[in-house]
Structure 1
Amino acid sequence: MSFYKLYNFLRDLQKNNSKDWMDENRSQYLEVRNWYIQWLDELNTELAKVDKDYHDTPGRKAINRINNNLMFHPNKPVYKDHFGAGMDLAANGKQGDFYIHLGTRESFIAGGFYKPKKEILSSLRDAIDYNGADYKKILNKKSFKDTFHIINDGDSLKTAPKGYSQDHEHIDLLRLKTFAVQHDLTQNEVQADDFKAKCIEVYKEMKPFRAYLNKAVTV
Structure 2
Amino acid sequence: MSFYQLYDFLRDLQKNNSKEWMDEHRKRYHEVRDWYISWLNELDVELGKADPDYVSIEGRKAINRINNNLMFHPDKPVYKDHFGAGMDLNENGKQGDFYIHLGTEESFIAGGFYKPKKKLLDSIRDAIDYNGEEYKKIINRKSFTDTFDIVDDGDSLKTAPKNYSQDHEHIQLLRQKTFAVRHDVTQREVCQEDFKQRCVDVYLEMKPFRDYLNKAVTV
TM-score range, shorter chain: over 0.9
Partner of residue 37, structure 1: 37
TM alignment of 1:1-219, pairs within 5 A: 1-93=1-93, 96-219=96-219
CA RMSD of aligned residues (A): 0.9
Residues 90 and 214 in structure 2, CA contact (< 8 A), matched pair in contact too: no
How far did 1:90 drift?
Answer: 2.4
Q: Tell me, yes or no, if the aligned pair for 1:94 and 1:217 is still in contact at 8 Å.
A: no
Structure 2: 5+ residue runs without aligned partners?
Answer: none
**CA deviations over 1:47-92 (Å, ceiling 9, x no partner):** 0111111111110010000000000111000000100000001244
Give % identity.
Answer: 77
- Supply the distance in 1 between the matched residues of 2:50 and 2:208 (Cα, whole angstroms): 13
Contact 1:110-1:182 within 8 A present in 2 as well: yes
Determine the C-alpha separation between the residues in 1 that align with 2:94 and 2:104. 29
Corresponding letter in the other structure for 1:197:
Q
2:154 & 2:87 partners in 1: Cα distance? 27
Q: 1:94 to 1:217 in 2, by over 3 A?
A: farther
Deviation for aligned residue 1:95: 5.9
Give the length in aligned residue pairs. 219
The answer on whether the counterparts of 1:95 and 1:217 sit within 8 Å (CA) in structure 2 is no
| 2:123–2:217 Cα contact (<8 Å) kept | yes
Does the 8 Å CA contact 2:112/2:210 hold for their aligned counterparts? yes
Match for 1:145: what amino acid? T
- Residues 178 and 95 from structure 1, CA distance in 2 versus in 1: closer, same or farther, beyond 3 angstroms? closer
> Which residue identity lines up with residue 207 of structure 1 in the other structure?
K
Q: Are the structure 2 counterparts of residues 112 and 175 from structure 1 closer, same or farther at C-alpha, using a change threshold of 3 Å? A: same
Map Cα deviations across residues 20-65 of structure 1 (whole Å, 9 max, x no partner): 0000000000000000000000000000111111111110010000
TM-score (norm 2): 0.99
Most deviating of 114-123 and 93-102: 93-102
The superposition leaves residues 116-135 of structure 1 with CA deviations (integer Å, 9 ceiling, x where unpaired) of 00000000000000000000
Distance (Å, rounded) in 2 between the aligned partners of 1:156 and 1:190: 32
Distance 2:93 2:193 in 1: 32
Q: Distance in 2 between matches of 1:116 and 1:95?
A: 7
SS in structure 1 at match of 2:184: strand
Check whether the contact 2:47–2:200 (CA below 8 A) recurs between aligned residues. yes
- 1: CA distance, partners of 2:176 / 2:163: 15
- Distance in 1, Cα, partners of 2:128 & 2:154: 20
Amino acid at match of 1:24: E
Length-normalised TM-score, structure 1: 0.99
